[in-house]
Structure 1
Amino acid sequence: MPKAVAAIFDVGKTNKKLFLIDENYNIVYERSARFVETKDEDGEPCENLDSLCSSVYDSLNQVMQLKEFEIRAINFSTYGASFVYLDENGEPLTPLYNYLKEYPAGLKNQFYETYGGEEKISLETASPILGSLNSGMQLYRLKKEKPEVFAKIKFALHLPQYLSYLITGKAVADITSIGCHTQLWDFNKNTYHDWVLAEQLEQKFGEFTPADSSLKTLFEGLEVKVGVGLHDSSAALIPYLANFSTPFILLSTGTWCISLNPFNQEILKADELKQDCLCYMHYKGKAVKASRIFAGYEHELQLKRIAEHFDRAAYIFKHLKFNPAMILNLANKIPENAILQTEFFANSAFPDRDLNQFKTAEEAYHQLIFDLVKQQVYSLKLILNQGVKRIFVDGGFGKNAIYMHLLATAVPDIEVYASSVSQATAIGTALSINDAWNSNPAPTDMIQLKYYSAIQRSVQL
């Protein structure tokens, strides 16, 4: 008897993956693809939309031939801030512009002068000023610079919804995409922002549809339930929301370290926005207050500096054990180290440190992590609110014992866990439509946790 599964596409900037996930949330099949980027009309690199569409169709056709699986549902998660503009025949009108594309200063100034200034728009839309990374600004640019193309747009769909459209033929808008640093959504009024209505952009969006809904669709003669698609950051949060009701913060660590608090719906303040706070939306339509720092990038940069200074290979630090005695010695050497629990900084102090003051590469590395943790706690406290009992750390720093022990020491009143969910984004995307394809409730053991306690020493760290 074939195994019931959901087919989940997880589309990143680099890797495009298809997973088959069974009713117990085991990944039973996986395939991945990478495409060579193409260029837009300005010569800027961008996603090869033709290759992506062909891959979706070809991959689905292939897995539907596998007799051991019964595909009951299909859903999509992708990176955000990317629009596909469709004509009345459902054909793309433009390349899939890169969200890193430079935004013209004159047009940017014109927009904010017209609609009340950067601070007003940022506060109301919970979006830092990010140029093309504010996807609403991409659509505004198209209207102003290429009105003839804009006039032909029947639908402007964020990438997850476009991939769903490829299967269903139904154009929809989804809150996890519309509500994430797009400058399209007014978080105070819980609707499209006034400027969107003034520019009549909302007429180009699909029908607003709940993120946990699905549409019964015939694909290649097979009846399946197809989800509306999700922004990948929101999807990765879903397994945690499904497994834990006690308030928590998810600290997702990679190049960027993003702290997500789905239990904080307080309106963003101007000073928080200036410190790179923003709001995501989780799939049930609630704001998720978030802060972020470029700590993973900083870690790699400074690790290289340490390795070169001490003539050591960088990879040896990957599994370096935590040495509490070294931390205590550093507290005597560097005075501000002695107050880890009370004094935090917006930036890491390590780039300005003289490496000659450290006896060994290991000592320098412990100090690097110490400084990064001070910066991380500063970022965490921007979104921390009363009632949060746990911090879950996933990604690279969750595997770093030095980082985890120091973080636990810095926030002694909060439980700190290294957490991991195999393919959290794909699992979350399947969970969002669980009831449409799965006869079982969400399992409660999909997240692996490792608890870290504070340094047990009679010294104030």
Structure 2
Amino acid sequence: MNVVAIFDIGKTNKKLFLFDEQYQIVWEKSEQFAEISDEDGDSCEDVNRLRSWVTTSLEEVLRLPQFTVTAVNVSAYGASIVYIDKDGEPVGQLYNYLKAYPATLSEQFFGNYGPEVELTRQTASPSLGSLNSGLQVYRIKYEQPELFAKLTYALHLPQYVSYLITRWPVSDMTSVGCHTMLWDFDRQQYHRWVTDEELDGRLAPIVASDSVQAATVDGTSLQAGVGLHDSSSALVPYLASFQEPFVLISTGTWCISMNPFNNRPLTPEELQYDCLNYMHYKGQPVKSARLFAGYEHEQQIKRLAAHFQVPIDQYVRVGYNPKTIERLRHQNSQVTTDADAKGNQLLSMKGSLFGQRNLADFADYAEAYHQLILDIVAQQLISTNLVLAGSPVKRIFVDGGFSKNPIYMNLLALAFPTIEVYAASVAQASALGAALAIHSYWNSHPLPGDCVDLKKYTASVTVH
């Protein structure tokens, strides 16, 4: 059986899948690695363990007698860079994108290349410290000059994993174009600061995201993709399945609203609310807005469980009750202030009003949980509207955790009465996207049009 092998590298789980020519998963393995510490004692990915796992796992599947692996590609988390020397060996650490960024270095950077509001607009990157991966390379240059001297290429993580297979150092736009502060969207080239700091020579040549390179592994010839940033990769099955304009709300720890049909430049105000551009694997910007709503949900269900003396997963037993929503809407204020709150902290990182609510005001757990989701959806409305503005979107697809939450889905349908709202499910969307991106290089069948299962929600009822 001809198959494509896909590495799907998350921060928590490292996975390898084999997809057949109908894009069904026919084999998989998953592993979790303990993090190690960098020289400052901050946790980071163990790059040597990752390298060894990728190499041995690929050799393992090539030896499976029931499959012929004809191609391989990678989906991996973003904002993370591996530094390699002239021999392709990693130097330094694979630093965590949540590592605190030194204020003095940030001031130096914006002092030389700002003002901040203009630089963030040009690069479509909210100012996020280490989450702006270009600033990680800038930091190495000024804080670790000996390491910088050894550095031949700084590769984003998806391209590093691909490099382990191909030995072909490249950069790809789904990584370079995503809140890195590297790319000038006005001029469609690296920003002036990158060339002024002479970092462009340390960034491998940019190739198309759906490029492949012939590689030989363990005597087997393969077509190897260059790797995709996982958020961009997860969008590919939707782009393959739907031609009409849509917004995808990908829900997990972050709820990311992505609109591939809105190419208006980001405004300074949108950047303040954590709007950013992801990059479509064909190279177009995807206007996106992030909300830390999954994280808030995780924290608040713990608070609810403790207060009402119920199990932490009690919320899964709570069905949608329109009467409860109606009653809560009349007695409680909704989130109207956060849209105008111009603090230093981004809207996306703020909790909803629920964190300030007194749980003793609610009759029972179910009522309190309805209020939590009401407050989260009120913020989701603000966030998603940022990417909807001015584009002809007729449908919203929700995937991930909240797509299985009937209260969230019904409230979202109420919040967007003129748009069709669907819970969408795609098995392993980011891995599937990486497989679809190189379809023409390994699969002679037509692209499948049925990758996505949909369930439609209307204002108060669910239709299958």
Q: Judge same fold: TM > 0.5, yes or no.
A: yes
The residue that corresponds to 1:376 in the other structure is 380
The residue that corresponds to 1:240 in the other structure is 238
| Identity percentage of aligned residues | 54
Alignment TM-score, normalising by the size of structure 2: 0.94
Alignment TM-score, normalising by the size of structure 1: 0.95
Q: Is the 8 A contact 2:121 2:268 kept in 1?
A: yes
Matches within 5 A, 1:50-199: 50-199=48-197
Q: Secondary structure at the match of 2:99?
A: coil
Residue ranges of structure 1 left out of the alignment (5+ in a row)? 457-461
Residue ranges of structure 2 left out of the alignment (5+ in a row)? 342-346
Q: Secondary structure at the match of 1:137?
A: helix
The reply to whether residue 359 of structure 1 matches residue 363 of structure 2 is yes
Closer, same or farther: CA 335–161 of 1 in aligned 2, 3 Å: closer
Find the aligned partners of 2:456 and 2:76 in 1 and give their Cα distance: 31
CA apart distance, 1:251: 0.4
The residue that corresponds to 1:405 in the other structure is 410
Q: Is the 8 A contact 1:344 1:377 kept in 2?
A: no
Find the aligned partners of 2:282 and 2:417 in 1 and give their Cα distance: 31
Deviates more, 1:371-380 or 1:306-315: 306-315
CA apart distance, 1:336: 5.0
Q: Secondary structure at the match of 2:29?
A: strand
Find the aligned partners of 2:443 and 2:234 in 1 and give their Cα distance: 19
Deviations 1:135-179 (A, max 9, x none): 100111111122232122111111111111111111111000111
The residue that corresponds to 2:17 in the other structure is 19
Deviates more, 1:305-314 or 1:371-380: 305-314
Q: What is the root-mean-square deviation of aligned Cα atoms in Å?
A: 1.6
4+ long deviations beyond 3 Å: 343-347
- Aligned residue pairs total 450
Q: Is the 8 A contact 1:319 1:400 kept in 2?
A: no
Q: Is the 8 A contact 1:344 1:374 kept in 2?
A: no
Find the aligned partners of 1:413 and 1:58 in 2 and give their Cα distance: 51
The residue that corresponds to 2:42 in the other structure is 44
Find the aligned partners of 1:31 and 1:99 in 2 and give their Cα distance: 26
The residue that corresponds to 2:293 in the other structure is 295
Q: Secondary structure at the match of 2:317?
A: coil
Whichever residue aligns with residue 433 of structure 1, its letter is: I
Q: Is the 8 A contact 1:344 1:375 kept in 2?
A: no
The reply to whether residue 437 of structure 1 matches residue 435 of structure 2 is no
CA apart distance, 1:335: 6.0
Deviations 1:232-286 (A, max 9, x none): 1100000000000111111011111111111111111111111111111010000
1:316 to 278, 297, 314: 314
The reply to whether residue 448 of structure 1 matches residue 446 of structure 2 is no
Q: Secondary structure at the match of 2:213?
A: strand
Find the aligned partners of 1:306 and 1:405 in 2 and give their Cα distance: 21
The residue that corresponds to 1:459 in the other structure is none
Find the aligned partners of 1:403 and 1:97 in 2 and give their Cα distance: 35
1:350 to 344, 347, 354: 354
Q: Secondary structure at the match of 2:264?
A: coil
Q: Is the 8 A contact 2:334 2:375 kept in 1?
A: no
Whichever residue aligns with residue 36 of structure 2, its letter is: T
Q: Secondary structure at the match of 2:198?
A: coil
CA apart distance, 1:300: 2.1
